[in-house]
Structure 1
Amino acid sequence: MVLSTEVALNPDKEYEVVDGQPEEKVMGGARHSGVGTRLIVRLGLHVEANQLGGVYGPDATFKIGRNDRLPDVSFVAADRIPPEGEPEGIWEIAPDLAVEIISPNDLYEKVTSKVLEYLAAGVRQVWLISPEHRTLTIYFSPTQTQILTEEDELVCEDLFPGFRCLIRDLFRNPGKS
């Protein structure tokens, strides 16, 4: 990512650009990564099998209003992917789905602001995953949400027809059933 700033950026870190300034995206560790990867695998297999579009990991950058954001997981519907394919760099559009996985060091205000920013930019759904509480909150709008616990099943017919995922599977201990 190229920024027009005089701040020296660590090339080993990921940065979002917020209000024109680089903001380090602090990675959340193994549990955070495991939850994201389990979701990417399940969602990616379904999306690919049904040619619904593309699923992306935490290094895909999207133009969200004035900011450049890196959701932990994202999805762009097939009909929105340009004929020439995925961009080499930043997506100049908002994704259809943005997923943020809450890290222990995340601040409530920053996470909430990011959710509202995604929705204002046209993201159709924002999923906020809490590994600590083992929940997935779906934001359809700033005032319409659905909270799923590990006893629930994630079904998202409008974005992913036929997709089903038990919430507990996202939090499952690797190598355990």
Structure 2
Amino acid sequence: MVNIAGQLTLEEFLALPEGDVYYELVDGQAVPKVSPKYFHSTLQLALGLLIRAWCKGKGRVLPEWAILLKRRGKDWVPLPDLTYISYERLPASWKRNEACPAIPELVIEMISPDQTMKQLEDKAKDYLAAGVSRVWVVDSEAINIRVFLPDGSCEVYTDNTPIVDELLPGLELTTKQIFEEAELI
């Protein structure tokens, strides 16, 4: 068992051994990430598969991939549920077993039962302030997806309204399609 109490530098955090518990680095602290439940896992898989089908040859979409960012001037290593990063930002030739070194276009977070929408809204703002272009927050209870934009606005998508974004040309998904793929409706 590794002792991770106290303040950690980015280097100390990145040197932690892999284990059964995943951590995010927040304000110098290793904060454990909640273990996903069924709704979370099935939505994560469904979205990952749908986005992967779209992004072949354009970029990569990965689950639970740590990203090296800054939050309020401090090192921050969040672990989004899904990350999409284009080959323009991180070339296809990049193949290292380490945290994502570039700022992605899109991160997706699923609300867990112990989280509030306010917590995820704050995290979305932190992602955007760090340079992430879009943040999607998926709410399995409300059956909606909130898309947070750099200008501070947020659009809520439900049912058959397509999520279309010039940042992700050719990607067109609906909340209904995603939740059906996840076999939740």
Distance in 2 between the 1:25 and 1:115 partners? 16
Distance in 2 between the 1:98 and 1:78 partners? 15
Report the counterpart of residue 69 of structure 2 in structure 1.
64
Report the counterpart of residue 46 of structure 1 in structure 2.
54
TM-score scaled to structure 2, two decimals?
0.82
Distance in 2 between the 1:137 and 1:108 partners? 10
Is the counterpart of residue 155 in structure 1 residue 161 in structure 2? no
Change (3 A) 1:176 1:75: closer
Q: State whether residues 151 and 168 of structure 1, in contact with CA within 8 Å, keep that contact through their aligned partners in structure 2.
A: yes
SS in 1 for 2:41: helix
Is the counterpart of residue 30 in structure 1 residue 38 in structure 2? yes
Distance in 2 between the 1:108 and 1:157 partners? 26
TM-score scaled to structure 1, two decimals?
0.85
Report the counterpart of residue 86 of structure 2 in structure 1.
77
Match of 1:107 among 106, 116, 127: 116
Report the counterpart of residue 98 of structure 2 in structure 1.
89
Q: How many residues align?
A: 171
Structure 2 gap ranges (5+): 7-15
| Shift of residue 136, structure 1, vs aligned partner | 0.6
RMSD: 2.6
Q: State whether residues 21 and 32 of structure 2, in contact with CA within 8 Å, keep that contact through their aligned partners in structure 1.
A: yes
Structure 1 gap ranges (5+): none
Identity of aligned residues (%): 25
| Shift of residue 176, structure 1, vs aligned partner | 8.6
Report the counterpart of residue 164 of structure 1 in structure 2.
172
SS in 2 for 1:171: helix
CA-to-aligned-CA distance 1:43-75 (integer Å, 9 cap, x gap): 001100xx21111112x1101211111111111
CA-to-aligned-CA distance 1:110-149 (integer Å, 9 cap, x gap): 3222111100110000011101101111111252111101
Runs of 4 or more off by more than 6 Å in structure 1? 7-10
